[in-house]
A and B are shown apart, each in its own frame.
Chain A
């Protein structure tokens, strides 16, 4: 069902898995960019329904419906890919069509060919001109949905505050430290 190159430890529970596709999809993930071919792929002719878990990068060029759990890895929805799913991953790259909620502990990148309807949660989100998106974008990793998905706020959410966020961070600290001034400053 998967085209795998140097892959291991994938688990799929579900049904509706037609015959394998003749050729693997091209990987767009960080591993591919670095010249390594370690991403598994679901080819254009494949349709899967169920729950997918793994510990390697995955490219979807076919159809998937269900839940994806790749919390330490990258999921790429290729230009021909279409998923109707709730996705939890380290990084999510979207070139194709998504209906559902996307949670990434690091980054979500929405390319110009993407069509997304749903809610996305990640500390860093980028969106290319031409991409279509309807839904909610939440970059606040302290929100309940993000905590529920990943247990704790993303690492990037506890980095030193930028000038833009400093007043909020200072206000929070001052609220816990009586005696300090409550006023924030723009750096």
Chain B
């Protein structure tokens, strides 16, 4: 995941940052952020996947209990966008943008090359060597929405595609920047 790695490495030499992980808490990310004056907010939205995708949204009550006086610098969306339709992505982006710092960047993965994807969002974990793995992914496949960069920008007008890479595993990796 070259773009994710860039995001993590880029943060090494900069100021205190607030990270919002929309996925499940994992020790690997803690290790990557250790010694960096980082604050990590874990939303664990996959825990809500029983109601995905038809009733899923992101009310503040779904976010971790904390005050939001420190805006979010980095957002990790993993592959959650694939499990939302365009109106849901728009709603998510509105919520995220309202909590985002001006230089906020969001990382996301989209199943793009293959027509199918696992029926449930993946559980993404860093191993001890820093490599990223998807765990506990459903073996059942469902059609992938295969969102294009333009489709995502249309669904998330608050963000623009800053960089994108098609990975060997068929997933498209994105870095979105908050629009000003």
A binds B: yes
Which residues B7-65 have CB closer than 8 A to chain A?
Answer: 12-16, 24-27, 30, 33-44, 47, 64-65
Given A119-B66, A139-B38, A142-B37, A133 and B13 touching (CB < 8 A)? no
Interface residues in B60-74 (C-beta closer than 8 Å to A): 64-66
Q: Report A-chain residues with C-beta under 8 Å of the C-beta of B125.
A: 129
Task: Determine whether the beta carbon of A164 is less than 8 Å from that of B65.
Answer: no
The chain A residues found within 8 Å of chain B, CB to CB, are 117-119, 124-129, 131-140, 142-143, 161-162, 164-165, 167-168, 184, 186
Closest to B33 in A: A139
Taking chain B's interface residues, is the majority helix, strand, or loop, or is none over half, making it mixed?
loop
Q: Which positions in B face A, CB cutoff 8 Å?
A: 12-16, 24-27, 30, 33-44, 47, 64-66, 125, 135
Least distance between A65 CB and chain B CB atoms (Å): 16
| Whole-angstrom distance between the Cβ of A5 and the nearest chain B Cβ | 32
Whole-angstrom CA separation of A187 from B30 in the bound complex: 20
Tell me if A131 and B25 are in contact (CB < 8 A): yes
Extra contacts besides A132-B44, A138-B39, A143-B39 (11): CB < 8 Å: A119-B64, A129-B125, A133-B44, A134-B43, A135-B41, A136-B39, A139-B35, A140-B37, A164-B12, A164-B35, A164-B36
Q: Which of A124, A137, A138, A162 has the most CB atoms of chain B within a 10 A radius of its CB?
A: A137
With a cutoff of 8 Å between Cβ atoms, the chain A residues found around residue B25 in the complex are: 127, 131-134, 137
